[in-house]
Structure 1
Amino acid sequence: MTAPTSQATSPMARAVGVTVLLTGLGSLLGFVRDLLLGRFFGADAGTDAFLVAWTIPETAAPLLIEGAMAFVLVPLFSRAMEEGADLRGLVSSTLPYLCLGLLALTALTVAGAPLLVGVLAPGIRRADLAVDCMRMASVTILTFGLAGYLSAALRAHHAFAPPAAIYVAYNLGIVTCVWALRDQGAYAAAIGVAAGGAGMVLAQVPAFVRRFGAPLRPARGVALPMLAFLPVALFTLARQSQVFVERFVGSKLAEGSISHLNYAQKIAQVPMVLSLIVATVSFPQLARALAAGETARARRRLADDLLSAAAIVLPATAALLVCAPDVVALLLQYGAFTEADTAATARIMRVYTLGLLGQAVVGVACRVYFCGARASWYPALTMGAGLAATVALARPQWGVTGIAAANAAGITLTAALLLAGLRRQALDLPFHAALGPLGGLLPAAAAATGAGWGARALLAGLPPPIALASTGAAIAVTFYAVAALSGATATLTDTTKITHLIRMRGRS
C-alpha cells in the first residue's frame, strides 16, 4: 500500500517543487519591479496614473490566467484526456475563436480608455497619462488570454514548468523596460507590461507545440463552454472588483494613496500566491476525481489543499503583522520612495494581511464549484456578498487603512460562505467539517504573532536585516512548534486522518 502512494505522489511533489522555484523567482522579480518603480518614480500622481491603467492587466490576469480560463479549461482538457479524445482537434476548435474574441475586446478597451479612466478613478490627477498607459497595457487582454489558454492545456497535460515560468517572463519584461526607459516616467512601466505579456506567451509556445503539435486550421468541434465560463468570469470579476473599489475610493484621497495601497497589496499577496501552489498543481486531480464520482478522493484533495495553504499563509500573516515597517523599508525605501511612504504602506499592509487566510481559502475552495460540466453560480453570489461588504465599508473618511480593512472583511465573508456551501456540492461537506482541519493552526498563528512582537522588541538594537531575519525565525519556530503540540502538523502529513476527520464530522 505504501509503494503506490509514494509513486503517485512523487510526480506531484516534483511538480510542486518546480512550481515553487519558478513562482519564487517570479515573485523575486516582482519585488525588483516594485523596487524600481518606487526608486525611480516614488508614490505620486504619475505612479497613481500608471496603477489605474494597470487595472487592465490586473483584471485580465485573474480572469484569463489564474481564474476563469483555468477553472473552465483545466476541467475541459482533463475530461477530454479521461475520455481519450483528440486534444489537437479540441485545440483547433477552440483556440482560433478565442483569439478573435480577445482581439475584439482589446480593440474596445483601447478605444474606451478615456471612459474607463473616468469611471475607475474620477479624481485622478494625471488622467491623460492614465489613458496613454491604459492603451498600452490593453494588449495584455490578448496576450494574457493566450497565456492562460496555453497554461490550462499544459497543466491538464501535467506539464507545470512552462506555466509556472510565465510571471518570470512577465516581470522580467517590466523590469527591463522600466530600467531602460525610465526617462519616460511611469509610461515606461506600461510598455514593460505589454512586453511582459508577450513574454508569457513565448515562454509556453515550445512546450505546447511539443505536446499538442502545430496548430491546425480552425475547425468546428468542441466549442468553448461559454455558459460554464460566464459564472466563473463573474466570480473572478467580482473578486477583482475589490481592487476597483480601492482605486475608486483612493483617487479621492491624498496624492500617492493608490500607490501606497498597491505596494502594500503586492507585498502582502506573495504568501497568498505561494499558498495556492499545491492547489494549482492538484487542480487536474481534483477535476478528475469529481468527474469520476470519487467523492472520498476529492474530499481528501480539498482538505489537503486547505491545510497546505493555511500552513503557509498563517505564519506569513504573523510575520507581516509584526514586521511590516521593516519589510517595506527593506524592499522599497530607496530613491524617491521616502520614509513617509514606508510608514503609510506598512500601516495599510498590517490591516490588509488580516484577509490573507480568507484569500487563500477562497482560492482553494472555489475550485470545487468549477469542476463539473456546468460551473456553479454560487461562488459568484458569495463574491458578490463579499464585494457588497467591501463597498459598504470602504469610505473615504476612514482613509487608506479603512479601504484595506474593507477588503479583508469582504474576502473573509466570501471564504466563510464558500466553505458553508460545500455541503450542497458533490462533496456533501458540512461547514464545521470543512473548517475543522484549519482549527489547529489558528492558535499557532496567534502564538507566533505574540512571539514575534516580543522578539522584535528584544532585537530592536540590532541592524535591521538581522533583526528582521531573527524575528521571522522566532515566528516560524513558534508557529510550527505550537502546531506540532496541537497535533495539526500530524494532520497535515496524514491524509488518512484528514479523511477520517471529515467523515466523522460530516456525520454529526
Structure 2
Amino acid sequence: MTVTTTEDATEEAPAAPARHGRGFVAKAFGVTALFSAVGSVLGLLRDLLLARFYGAGSATDAFLVSWTVPETAAPLLIEDGMAFLTVPAFSAALAARGQLEESGEEAPDPVRALVAATLPPLALALAVMSAVVAVGAPVLVTVLAPGLADPQLAIVCTRLTAVTVLPFGLVGYLGAGLRSHHRFTLPGAVYIAYNAGILTVMLLLHGTLGVRAAAGGVALGSVLMVAVLLPSFARHVSRLTVWRVRGASVGEPVLNPMALLPVVLFTLTRQAQIFVERFIGSSLPPGTISHLNYAEKVAQNVMIIGILVCTVTFPLIARALAEGDTQGARLRAEKDLGVVGAVVLAGTVVVFACAPQLVAVLFERGAFTAADTAATAVLMRVYSLGLLAQGLVGALIRPYLAARPAVGFGRDGRARPLDRTDWYPIWSMGAGLLVTVAVAAGLTPFVGAAGLAAGNAVGISVTAVLLLMALRARGIPIRLHTVLGGQARLLLAAAGAAVPTWLAANIPGLDALGPVLPLLLGTVVGLLSFAALAGALRAPGADAALAAVRGRVAGRRPAVVRQRSGQAAEEGGTGDGGAGAGGGVEGAHGAEFQQARGETDGR
C-alpha cells in the first residue's frame, strides 16, 4: 500500500494533457462506442444462437423468464441505478479533493475514503440479495409467469442467473469509479466478456444441457465482467493517497441511505414494463414471450447507441454540478438530448420500415421459422414507436440525479434530507407504468402481443414528457421550448424518411434475391433521407452527429475554465489504453461552460 503526497503524485503521474484539448468527448465516445458495438455484436450472436438452438417454444420461454433476473439487475446495478448513485458520489469526492489542494494540513484522500465507506457493505448486501433470489426462484417464477408451460425448467434457470446479482453490482460500482476518473476503455469492454462467457457455454453444452447452458453462461459471463475491471480499479481509483494540505478537512463521506430509495425505485419501476409483458404474455400462445424478446433486443440496440454519448458526458455533468456550474450542465444536457434524439430516430426509421427484412436476416434459420419472423416483425414495428422516449428518459435521468447526489462530503457530518423533487422520477415512471398496463390490458384481447408492445411505447413516452418537465424543478434551467421544438423537427424528419425507406426495402421482385439486399438498400436510403431532412429542418443533433463522424464534436477549441495542479495527476486521461484525455472536464466542456458563464454575466 503506497502513501504519497501531492508533490509525489504530481511527479509520479503521467504528464497532464493540455486543458484546452478539444477532442475528449469525441475520443471517449469513440472508445465507448467501439467496445459497446463489439459487445452488441456478441449479444446479437448470442440471440441468434438462442433462436437457432431453441427456437421460440416453451423451453425458450422458460429461459427468458429466468432472464428477467439479469435483465432487472443490469439496469439497476450496471447501467442505471448504480451509475446514477456512484458517478455523482465519485464526482463529489473528486471535487472535495480539489478543495483539499487549496488547504494545508494532512487529510485522507476523499476518493479512498468513499471506497472504504461504501464498497464493503455494498458487496455484502449484493451477496445476500443473490442468495435470496436463488432460494426464492419458485415464487419468483410463479409471480412473473403464472401460465408458463414448463415452470420447473424456469426455476432451474433462475437459480443459475441469480448468481449475476453480486457480480453485476460490483461491475456497476467499479465501472462508475473508473469513468469518473475518465477511464472509459475497460468499462466499455465488460459486455464483451459477458457475452463471450454466454457464447462459450452455449456452444459447448447446448446439446447436453439444453437451454440450461444459456443460463449457466449468463452466470459465468457476469463473473468475467468483474475480472475485467477489478485490477484497473485497484490501480487507478482505490489506492491510498494522503494529501498535504493547509486548512480544514472537507469532511468524511456522508451517505443518506434514504437517498438510495428513489433511485432504486425508479429503476425497478422502469423495468416493471418488462414484468407486465412477461405476466400478460405468459397467458398468450407459446412463443409470444420469445417474439417480444427478439423484437425488443434488436430494436433496443438503436436506443443503446443513442445514449452512449450520455455514458461519456454523465461524469462531466456530475462534476460540473458538484462545482455549482448549473449553466454548463444545462448546455451539455440540451446538446445530449439533441444528439440522442437524432441517433435514435435515424435508427428507428430503418427498424420500422425494414422490420421483416431485418428479422429474417438475423433470425430466420434453424428452429426460427418464417411465421416467427412475421410475428416478431409486427411487434418490432410497434415497439420501435417508443424508442425515442426510451432514449430521452436515459438522457434526462442522469443530470436529474446528479443534481443531488446521495453521497456528499460535509464538515458537519449530516446527510442531506430528501425533498419532494427526489420522488419526481418515480412519479413520472409510475404514471408511465399505469398507462402501459392500461393500454396493454385494453388492447391485448383484440390485437394480441402487439397490445403489449403498444403499451410499452405509450407508457415510456408519457414518462419522457413528465421527466423533461421535472428537470427544471431539480434546479437545471433546461429550456423546454428549445428541447421540444428540436425533438419535433427530428420527429418530422423521421416521418418523412420512413416513406422512401419502406419503398426502397419493398421494391417489387427484389425480395426474390433474399432479404439482405432489400435491407441494405432500405438502410442506406433511410439514413440518407433522415440526414437530409434533419439538416433541411435544422434539427438538433444533426450537426453534432456529422461533427462526431469527422472527429470534431466541439465546434471550436474549448477555452480553459479553471486549472487545478493536483487534479491533472489523477485525471490524466481515459487511461487503460483508452481514448486519451483531451482535457478532462474543462477540456470537454470548455467552450460550453465559457458560453454559459458569459450568458450568466450578461444577465
Does residue 165 of the first structure (1) align with residue 211 of the second (2)?
no
Q: Distance in 2 between matches of 1:495 and 1:409?
A: 36
Contact 2:35–2:188, Cα closer than 8 Å, also in 1: yes
2:470 aligns with: 421
Q: CA deviation at 1:5?
A: 11
Q: Distance in 2 between matches of 1:325 and 1:192?
A: 30
2:352 aligns with: 321
Q: CA deviation at 1:495?
A: 7.4
CA distances 1:390-410 after superposition (whole Å, capped 9, x unpaired): 111112414110000000000
Opposite residue 105 of structure 1, the aligned amino acid is: M
Does residue 361 of the first structure (1) align with residue 392 of the second (2)?
yes
Does residue 59 of the first structure (1) align with residue 72 of the second (2)?
yes
Give the alignment of 1:7-26 within 5 angstroms: 7-26=20-39
In 2 relative to 1, CA 8–45 (structure 1 residues): closer, same or farther, beyond 3 Å?
Answer: same
1:393 aligns with: 439
CA distances 1:272-309 after superposition (whole Å, capped 9, x unpaired): 00101111110011111222221221111011111111
Q: Distance in 1 between matches of 2:240 and 2:436?
A: 44
2:139 aligns with: 115
Does residue 126 of the first structure (1) align with residue 160 of the second (2)?
no
Give the alignment of 1:213-232 within 5 angstroms: 213=238, 222=253, 224-232=255-263
Does residue 31 of the first structure (1) align with residue 80 of the second (2)?
no
Does residue 457 of the first structure (1) align with residue 457 of the second (2)?
no
Q: CA deviation at 1:310?
A: 1.1
CA distances 1:316-368 after superposition (whole Å, capped 9, x unpaired): 11111111011111111111111111111111000000000000000001112
Within the candidate set 531, 534, 552, 1:483 is matched to: 534
Does residue 406 of the first structure (1) align with residue 419 of the second (2)?
no
Deviates more, 1:393-402 or 1:348-357: 393-402
SS at match of 1:378: helix
Contact 1:78–1:287, Cα closer than 8 Å, also in 2: yes
Contact 2:506–2:518, Cα closer than 8 Å, also in 1: no
Within the candidate set 294, 300, 303, 1:272 is matched to: 303
Opposite residue 225 of structure 2, the aligned amino acid is: M
Q: CA deviation at 1:212?
A: 2.6
Deviates more, 1:9-18 or 1:367-376: 367-376
Opposite residue 490 of structure 2, the aligned amino acid is: L
Does residue 383 of the first structure (1) align with residue 429 of the second (2)?
yes
TM-score, normalising length: structure 1: 0.93
Q: Distance in 2 between matches of 1:429 and 1:110?
A: 44
Contact 1:304–1:495, Cα closer than 8 Å, also in 2: no
Structure (1/2) with the larger helix percentage: 1
In 2 relative to 1, CA 6–358 (structure 1 residues): closer, same or farther, beyond 3 Å?
Answer: farther
Opposite residue 396 of structure 2, the aligned amino acid is: A
Q: Distance in 1 between matches of 2:454 and 2:592?
A: 33
Question: Which structure 1 segments of 5+ residues have no match?
Answer: none
Q: CA deviation at 1:454?
A: 1.8
2:291 aligns with: 260
Does residue 473 of the first structure (1) align with residue 524 of the second (2)?
yes
Q: CA deviation at 1:460?
A: 4.4
Q: CA deviation at 1:223?
A: 5.8
Q: CA deviation at 1:374?
A: 4.7
Contact 1:303–1:437, Cα closer than 8 Å, also in 2: no
The CA RMSD measured in Å over matched residues stands at 2.4
Opposite residue 49 of structure 1, the aligned amino acid is: A
Give the alignment of 1:489-504 within 5 angstroms: 489-490=542-543
Q: CA deviation at 1:439?
A: 2.7
SS at match of 1:440: helix
Give the alignment of 1:150-189 within 5 angstroms: 150-183=174-207, 184-189=209-214
Opposite residue 474 of structure 2, the aligned amino acid is: Q
SS at match of 1:426: coil
Contact 1:173–1:193, Cα closer than 8 Å, also in 2: yes
Contact 1:63–1:233, Cα closer than 8 Å, also in 2: yes
In 2 relative to 1, CA 202–498 (structure 1 residues): closer, same or farther, beyond 3 Å?
Answer: closer
2:273 aligns with: 242
Contact 2:266–2:425, Cα closer than 8 Å, also in 1: yes
Q: 1 or 2 for the larger relative contact order (CA 8 Å, sep ≥6)? A: 2
Percentage of identical aligned residues: 47
Opposite residue 87 of structure 1, the aligned amino acid is: V
CA distances 1:218-240 after superposition (whole Å, capped 9, x unpaired): xx963654222210110000000
Give the alignment of 1:197-212 within 5 angstroms: 197-212=222-237
CA distances 1:132-173 after superposition (whole Å, capped 9, x unpaired): 000010010001001111111111111111111111111111
Opposite residue 480 of structure 1, the aligned amino acid is: A
In 2 relative to 1, CA 95–303 (structure 1 residues): closer, same or farther, beyond 3 Å?
Answer: same
Q: Distance in 1 between matches of 2:503 and 2:424?
A: 43
2:401 aligns with: 370
Q: Distance in 1 between matches of 2:371 and 2:117?
A: 54
Q: Distance in 1 between matches of 2:190 and 2:160?
A: 20
SS at match of 2:386: helix
Contact 1:383–1:414, Cα closer than 8 Å, also in 2: yes
SS at match of 2:165: helix
Opposite residue 505 of structure 2, the aligned amino acid is: R
Contact 1:94–1:222, Cα closer than 8 Å, also in 2: no
Within the candidate set 441, 448, 472, 2:497 is matched to: 448
Question: Which structure 2 segments of 5+ residues have no match?
Answer: 1-16, 98-108, 242-250, 407-421, 548-553, 557-590
Q: Distance in 2 between matches of 1:422 and 1:88?
A: 31
Give the alignment of 1:324-343 within 5 angstroms: 324-343=355-374
Contact 2:111–2:237, Cα closer than 8 Å, also in 1: yes
Contact 2:386–2:458, Cα closer than 8 Å, also in 1: yes
2:220 aligns with: 195
Contact 2:504–2:525, Cα closer than 8 Å, also in 1: yes
CA distances 1:442-485 after superposition (whole Å, capped 9, x unpaired): 22111110111221233642532122111110011111111111
Q: CA deviation at 1:426?
A: 1.2
SS at match of 2:385: helix
Q: Distance in 2 between matches of 1:472 and 1:482?
A: 15
Does residue 147 of the first structure (1) align with residue 198 of the second (2)?
no
Q: CA deviation at 1:372?
A: 2.9
Opposite residue 41 of structure 2, the aligned amino acid is: L
CA distances 1:249-278 after superposition (whole Å, capped 9, x unpaired): 000000011111101010000010010111
Does residue 309 of the first structure (1) align with residue 334 of the second (2)?
no
Opposite residue 37 of structure 2, the aligned amino acid is: G
In 2 relative to 1, CA 490–16 (structure 1 residues): closer, same or farther, beyond 3 Å?
Answer: closer
Contact 1:143–1:200, Cα closer than 8 Å, also in 2: yes
Q: Distance in 2 between matches of 1:428 and 1:213?
A: 35
In 2 relative to 1, CA 484–206 (structure 1 residues): closer, same or farther, beyond 3 Å?
Answer: same
Q: Distance in 1 between matches of 2:489 and 2:592?
A: 12
Opposite residue 538 of structure 2, the aligned amino acid is: G
1:88 aligns with: 112
Q: Distance in 1 between matches of 2:57 and 2:379?
A: 17
In 2 relative to 1, CA 233–215 (structure 1 residues): closer, same or farther, beyond 3 Å?
Answer: farther
Q: Distance in 2 between matches of 1:90 and 1:213?
A: 9
CA distances 1:100-124 after superposition (whole Å, capped 9, x unpaired): 1011111111111100100000000
SS at match of 2:303: helix
Q: Distance in 2 between matches of 1:226 and 1:12?
A: 33
CA distances 1:415-447 after superposition (whole Å, capped 9, x unpaired): 011111222121233532332332322221111
In 2 relative to 1, CA 374–287 (structure 1 residues): closer, same or farther, beyond 3 Å?
Answer: closer
Count the aligned residue pairs.
497
